[in-house]
Chains A and B, each alone.
Chain A
Amino acid sequence: MPPFEFPKIHDFPPFYTKQPVRKTWEVQRRNWADLILSYCKASKKFLLNVSQDLQSDLFNNKNINRSLSRDVLVEILEYMNGEGEIEWDTSVGKQTQCFVYWRKPAEWASLIHTWITSQGLENNVITFFELTNPDPDTNELILDPNEEVFAIHSHVMNRALKILKTQGKVTLFTGSDADSLGIKFHS
């Protein structure tokens, strides 16, 4: 995978300080949101951990010796949550980590369904493990012909499956083992 090319604004020092003027701040947080989304998309990153990722290149620019503060990042993430671009992971503490929806769950749902029909897998029983653990030798899950095989985070997969269920495109059932989720797709 080629290294992510940061946009020019990443080298702009004021970008790392919350701007006092409201209109400027609105543009600034939108720019940060776009940067987070494209960065995560390029690295196929589904989960963003606030403490851990604050140390990453995304929020640190050693060239200009600037980094984003935790408070500002949380504020940006709260804004993105309102836009449906992230979802806080409620299984851990408040505002510690979130799922980044560089593709909205509904987009994932339609991509998965398209892939299943293209493989002729409708009405076959598929396990959740199969869907979330693509094996290039057997059941590679190529959701986009331009992208390589990668695993979708199980939480995101669950969200997509719930959307498909409400559309009547999927039947979900469990076996004797409550953890084992069986999925049956319908065209």
Chain B
Amino acid sequence: MGSSSSKHSVSDSDKAILELKVQRDKLQKYQNQITKVSQRELQIAKLNLEKGNKERALLALKKKKYQEQLISQTNDQLLNLSKLLQTIEFSLIQKDVINGLKIGNQVLVSLNKETNIQDVENLLMDTQEAIEYQNEISELLSTNLSPESEEAALQDLAELQLQLMNSPPKNKLPEPVINSNIQNQNENNKESNRVSISSEDSKNSEKLADMEPIAI
């Protein structure tokens, strides 16, 4: 509890505030007392009037007036005291606020010291490099994937196909004459001939069919 007792210590300003508040309490007590006295003067005045003692009644009323003045004076003093007290209490709070700001500033400065500018520059440069590298990759990727280049590629393909169709097939060179293969070759040729003939036949018959009405 040692720390708490030091935290709860009484400062000079606390003592000053206490003095002021004690003065205020004393004024308050005085005012309470004088208010009672002044009320009693009114009763005395009434009693004296009933008895027919006008002078005494007037004296009591004069006293009462004077006491009322005192009451209003103590009211003013009480107001002054409470104003002063509030100003002091507000200044104390202000002091705390400024203290808080000071501590916050110190923390900020020490934090700034910890973050070295060179480190930050290096870090930023590294980041920049990484960004550039990333950009390069994405540029490469995007050029490959761009619709124009894809179209161009398709065009190239079409041209190549055209070239292939126009040029005589170079790969269909006369086949090397190998004895064992001749027979097969011949048979193949026969078959292909037959197919070609049959297809010619059908074409011819069609032609005939077309021509018939003209013949009639």
Instruction: Enumerate chain A interface residues (CB-CB to B < 8 A).
Output: 124-127, 129-130, 133, 135, 168, 171, 173, 175-177, 180, 182, 184, 186
Complex contacts, A124 vs chain B, CB 8 Å: 89
Given A168-B1, A168-B4, A168-B8, CB of A125 within 8 Å of CB of B14:
yes
Residue in contact with B22 in the complex, picked from A127, A133, A168, A184, CB distance below 8 Å: A127
Q: Are A171 and B10 in contact (CB under 8 A)?
A: yes
Is the CB of B17 closer than 8 A to any CB of chain A? yes
> CA–CA, A133 to B18, complex, Å?
16
Contact B4 A173 (CB under 8 A): no
Chain B interfacial positions (CB closer than 8 Å to A): 1, 4-5, 8-10, 14-15, 17-19, 21-22, 25, 28-29, 89
Extra pairs beyond A126-B21, A129-B28 (5, CB < 8 Å): A168-B8, A171-B8, A173-B18, A182-B10, A182-B14
When C-beta atoms are compared, the residue in chain B nearest to A138 turns out to be B82
Quick check: B21 and A173 within 8 Å, CB to CB? no
What distance in Å separates the Cβ of A162 from its nearest Cβ neighbour in chain B? Answer: 16
**Chain A residues whose CB sits within 8 angstroms of the CB of B5 once the complex forms:** 168
Q: Are A180 and B10 in contact (CB under 8 A)?
A: no
Is A130 in contact with B21, judged by CB distance below 8 angstroms? Answer: yes
A177, B15: Cα distance in complex, Å? 11
> Smallest Cβ distance from B18 to chain A, in angstroms?
4
The distance in angstroms between the C-alpha atoms of A126 and B10, with both chains bound, is 13
Known: A168-B1, A173-B14. A125 touches B21 (CB 8 A): yes
Are A129 and B19 also in contact (CB < 8 A) when A168-B4, A173-B14, A184-B14 are?
A: no
Residue pair A180, B8 in contact (C-beta under 8 Å): no
Q: Which residue of B lies closest to A168 (CB)?
A: B4
**What's the Cα separation between A9 and B89 when bound, in Å?**
55
Give CA–CA (A129, B20) in the complex, Å.
13
> Closest chain B residue to A181 by CB distance?
B18
Across the interface, do B22 and A175 meet the contact criterion of CB distance under 8 Å?
yes
Return B9 CB to nearest CB of chain A, in Å.
8
Q: List 5 A-B contacts (CB under 8 A).
A: A125-B18, A130-B25, A176-B19, A184-B10, A186-B8
In the complex, which residue of chain B has the Cβ closest to the Cβ of A182? B18
Bound together, the chains give a CA A177 to CA B25 distance in angstroms of 13
Q: Could you tell me if A175 and B19 are in contact, using CB atoms closer than 8 angstroms? A: yes
A184 contacts across to B, CB distance below 8 A = 8, 10, 14
